[in-house]
Amino acid sequence: MKTIGLIGGMSWESSAVYYKLINQKVRELLGSTHSAKSLMYSVEFKEIEQLQHAGNWEKLTEIMIDAAQKVEKGGADLLVICTNTMHKMAAEMAEKISIPILHIVDATAEKIKEADLKKIGLLGTNFTMTHDFYKGKLEKDHGFEVIVPNEKDRQIIHKIIYQELTLGKIKESSRKKYQAIIEKLQNEGAEGVILGCTEIPLLIKQKDSPIPVFDTTKIHAEKAVELALDIQ
């Protein structure tokens, strides 16, 4: 079994879910008392959040490279960044470490292809929905047509993530807002929707959506286990 390295704390609410999902998957596959070999470096999310909203991606890249190097030195065989947004600097991180990074977009795209969908909606932080590192990768590397919500809806999604979900607050009123936005995406032709923030699955489940949802947290965590156990 390979050791899974995790960069967490963005937020710790979803990082805790990663840890649980990874160990559940190992037990499902191996049975008995088996669990994952893993190590996590957790950042201070307030610092990350402030730098994100200040647009200081250069400093954020330095922080993420430092975290990745610490995880590698700790003995990890592969790296999982436990957040969608911070994949923005995945390429720069990959240049500074020798272990592979399991990119959340690639893992998610694999599942969408298995479902044979072509036109997909994307929910996430405003950074994820508007910056090219995520939407562009889905389009250029995987050939999907990606639909994002309008500006007003993007602000609703973003605000709920940072002011509620990262703090562990789950509100029915917010679930209904997300559901209304998903329905709009469906009306625009989306065949499925990516929950492109690792906190969104805390709020939205498949039962809350009229179209297939792709839970990036679950997909990413379970793919990491497959790689750690060398399952093709």
Judge whether 83 counts as a catalytic residue.
yes
List, as one string, the DSSP characters of 5-28: EEEE-TTHHHHHHHHHHHHHHHHH
Angle between helices 57-73 and 45-54 (to 10 degrees): 150
φ/ψ of 39, rounded to 5, equals -145, 145
Q: What is the SS3 assignment for 102?
A: coil
Q: Are 92 and 65 in contact (CB under 8 A)?
A: yes
197 noted as active-site residue: yes
Compute the residue count for the chain.
Answer: 232
d(CA 110, CA 115) in angstroms, rounded, equals 9
Instruction: Compute the Cα dihedral for 220, 7, 137, 99 and give only its sign.
Output: negative
DSSP state of 2: P
Strand pairing partners for 122?
A: 194
Pick the catalytic residue from 61, 83, 166, 217: 83
Question: Which residue among the candidates 61, 197, 216, 217 is catalytic per the annotation?
Answer: 197
Residue 40, strand partner residues: 6
Annotated catalytic residues are 83, 197
